[in-house]
Structure 1
Amino acid sequence: MRHQAKGETTMDLIQEGKVKRVLQDPDSAERVIIEFTDAVTAGDGAKKEEFSGKGNVATEMSHYLFGYLEGKGIDTHYVKKLSSNQLLCKKVTIFPVEVVCRNIAAGSFCRRYGTEKGTPFPEPLVEFFLKDDEYHDPLITADAIIRLGLAKRDELEFMKSVTLSTNYYLGEILKQRELILVDFKLEFGKTKKELIVLADELSPDSMRIWDSNTTSMDKDVFREDKGDLIGAYNKVFEEIKKAKPQDVEQRTESIQVIVEPKSGIKNPPGEVTKKALGRLGFAEVEEVRVGKVFVITLKRPLTTEILNHLAIMNLKLLSNPISETNKVRIE
């Protein structure tokens, strides 16, 4: 299908969603153009209206926030802003999973568990949802995602890590302006080079934001008919632009590399430990294998490139590929 954006060059339409279109970049097979519309939807599209200027503010905010996160070391699909409602982005294959991070109970979480709206969580909560309109984007466990072949375990751990970093960086600039990041939804994609990057958009369409009086400044204004949607979106963006990203401290992350002796390889420390446990009365112990754990602290958010570097570290220094196995655990 062909699509002509605002009287300009005709481009191939790759996908049309509820509020955005994905167009093929005519200049590069490896890039796409994300076009934001003025549509706003709720309830799986059951409620839908057009709000003049919504596409523009969603574009501007996504442009600003993707750039901010890139500056903090988070890989995204963003390349540059093309127009008031278009972003040029890397072409990615989107994982059919939405990642939601919650700091405060609201929305579907309260309906699902009966939790009182506004209850803060002691730590951010990350949930996965299946991207499927027919089944209303149901909550899905990591094990189910893996069994269905939608993503691998290490890919989910990576997405969770990036989501928590995004939560920190977005939350900090909003906090500077006395705004509260309640929860938000992210999507991830994989590039042709197998790099996993943050994709889709970053705007009040996909976030729940409250002011200091817990007044909604996001799509809940539309969902619950609370007032001026575009006014709320513009207010959030104006406040974000007044924040000082340079004052947000860099978030460190830790990775564990667990090294174990291969099965069938003699492990004298394990044998000594087993004998000692036997003397202490733990006769049920069949085998003990002693390995080692490296805890590596990163000074920037985790990226696919860093994981690739870690694989080289394992081969060259951290483990012996002949006698040991290793696995990476993202904390």
Structure 2
Amino acid sequence: MTSSPPELKVGQKLNEGKTKQIFLLEDQPGMVLVQSKDQITAGNAVRKDQMEGKAAIANGTAGCVFRLLQDCGIKTAFVKQHSDTAFIAAHCEMIPIEWVCRRVATGSFLKRNPGVKEGYRFSPLKMEMFFKDDANNDPQWSEEQLLEAKFSPAGLAIGQCEVDVMSRSTVAIFEILEKSWATQDCTLVDMKIEFGVNVKTKEIVLADVIDNDSWRLWPAGDRSQQKDKQVYRDLKEVTPEAMQMVKRNFEWVSERVKLLLEPRAGGRVVVLMGSTSDLAHCEKIRKACTSLGVRCILRVTSAHKGPDETLRIKAQYEGDGVPTVFVAVAGRSNGLGPVMSGNTAYPVINCPPLTPDWGAQDVWSSLRMPSGLGCSTILSPEAAAQFAAQIFGLTDHLVWGKLRASMLNTWVALKLADQKLQACSL
């Protein structure tokens, strides 16, 4: 094990796998140190070699992946990077299942499913489970086998609800990473992940590591350019030259994965309000935009009282090349949205602040547009921000990731609420 900074009190070794060690942290209750090793293995360690520098490469890759997922809103055990070869994580009791998600048929799937050609594309994604049992080569399990195993890590019984949460989470995690790797013209072919139960919160979280041992990556969708551990598995003979090639591939991934954290050329939402009396409504739009990683600017202008100024403001945001969605906030008679929509090729969203007295009548000025205008109307300020973010998510993987994780977290919250309600009703 590499030396730790003096301020870290490393305690009992909880576990040691083929590529890492897990230690309790005595001065940080509920936390562990995940220490990577320089070992690389294949076929449940039938083949294993030392690859100098692999611990640092794997640790750096895992740190970037976990930060990306956490920034999107995925719950993980990762806390922070500690050193070149170790990170601090929440102490979890692991669920002994590898969740495998596949976009493209290759590897063991072809052996288990003769007749399927390599390259077959799964839409929706293909999900598989494997029980972690080295002695029996990690056999594939069904959902029924997992339920009948009656696992109870950290006291949490793994039933149908928990299985559904892990299954849904696996798909969302894969899709976020798939979208991210696509920005580097790299196909995420398949991926394996593991979940644990946080011993403090009793919550299921993404745990273990995600590094270059965890997936298949094909630049430009071309298997012959693969950059993952499959290159090591495929070696006919392990030579120093071959190991250098494997290491170069791992380094390529560790450098590219840093780029996934970099935002794209960001878009912006420009909220135009007819009066500062609408400011509270507009602030809700700005807050929701910010939570989704979208910059939001508030302006005051009236298409009725100052149409020339409205069009000048519009031109200001059209002229700098930044992708822009306009949101028109005008109560009473909404001329702002239609005037903007009729004079710009950029998307315009009406989000009128309706009042109890005349709201039912006022909304028609937003809903019934002259012909030739493509102006949408969304009454909720948070939903207007979400719709704008969905537009930017088409080209910005980080915004898309936040939206995708939000979908997952909403689904999980509903699932847990239903489970709790059923428990109370019994």
TM-score (norm 1): 0.75
Which has the higher relative contact order, 1 or 2, with Cα contacts under 8 A spaced 6 or more apart?
1
Residue of structure 2 equivalent to 1:6: 3
Tell me the CA shift for residue 211 of structure 1.
Answer: 1.1
Tell me the CA shift for residue 13 of structure 1.
Answer: 1.1
Letter in 2 for 1:136: N
CA separation in 1, counterparts of 2:208 and 2:11? Answer: 19
Tell me the CA shift for residue 149 of structure 1.
Answer: 1.0
Aligned residues of 1:251 and 1:301 also touching (Cα < 8 A): no
CA separation in 2, counterparts of 1:16 and 1:197? Answer: 20
Residue of structure 2 equivalent to 1:208: 216
Q: Which piece of structure 1 moves more, 151-160 or 72-81?
A: 151-160
Letter in 1 for 2:92: V
CA separation in 1, counterparts of 2:176 and 2:160? Answer: 25
More helix by share: 2
Residue of structure 2 equivalent to 1:135: 136
Q: Which piece of structure 1 moves more, 81-90 or 107-116?
A: 107-116
Gaps of 5+ in 1: 254-297, 326-331
Equivalent residue for 2:235, pick from 215, 220, 225: 225
Percent identity, aligned pairs only, is: 27
CA separation in 1, counterparts of 2:255 and 2:43? Answer: 28
Matches within 5 A, 1:15-94: 15-94=15-94
CA separation in 2, counterparts of 1:210 and 1:204? Answer: 12
Measured at CA, do residues 223 and 124 of structure 1 come closer, stay the same or move farther in structure 2, by a change above 3 Å?
A: same
Aligned residues of 2:73 and 2:406 also touching (Cα < 8 A): no
Letter in 1 for 2:213: D
Does the alignment pair 1:157 with 2:164?
yes
Tell me the CA shift for residue 5 of structure 1.
Answer: 3.7
Aligned residues of 2:92 and 2:196 also touching (Cα < 8 A): yes
Q: Which has the larger Rg? A: 2
Tell me the CA shift for residue 308 of structure 1.
Answer: 7.7
Q: How many residues align?
A: 271
RMSD of aligned alpha carbons: 2.5
Measured at CA, do residues 52 and 199 of structure 1 come closer, stay the same or move farther in structure 2, by a change above 3 Å?
A: same
Measured at CA, do residues 27 and 160 of structure 1 come closer, stay the same or move farther in structure 2, by a change above 3 Å?
A: same
Could you list the per-position Cα deviations for residues 106-137 of structure 1 after superposition, in whole angstroms to 9, with x for gaps in the alignment?
A: 11101111222222112211111101111110
Residue of structure 1 equivalent to 2:251: 234
CA separation in 2, counterparts of 1:303 and 1:22? Answer: 32
More strand by share: 1
Tell me the CA shift for residue 164 of structure 1.
Answer: 0.8
Residue of structure 1 equivalent to 2:122: 121
CA separation in 2, counterparts of 1:118 and 1:30? Answer: 43
Could you list the per-position Cα deviations for residues 258-314 of structure 1 after superposition, in whole angstroms to 9, with x for gaps in the alignment?
A: xxxxxxxxxxxxxxxxxxxxxxxxxxxxxxxxxxxxxxxx844328983587349x8
| SS across alignment from 2:408 | coil
Does the alignment pair 1:186 with 2:193?
yes
Residue of structure 2 equivalent to 1:172: 179
Letter in 2 for 1:201: V
Q: Which piece of structure 1 moves more, 132-141 or 21-30?
A: 21-30
Letter in 1 for 2:230: D
Aligned residues of 1:250 and 1:300 also touching (Cα < 8 A): no
CA separation in 1, counterparts of 2:209 and 2:59? Answer: 8
Aligned residues of 1:58 and 1:203 also touching (Cα < 8 A): yes
Does the alignment pair 1:148 with 2:130?
no
| SS across alignment from 2:23 | strand
Aligned residues of 2:62 and 2:211 also touching (Cα < 8 A): yes
Measured at CA, do residues 123 and 23 of structure 1 come closer, stay the same or move farther in structure 2, by a change above 3 Å?
A: same
Letter in 2 for 1:29: P
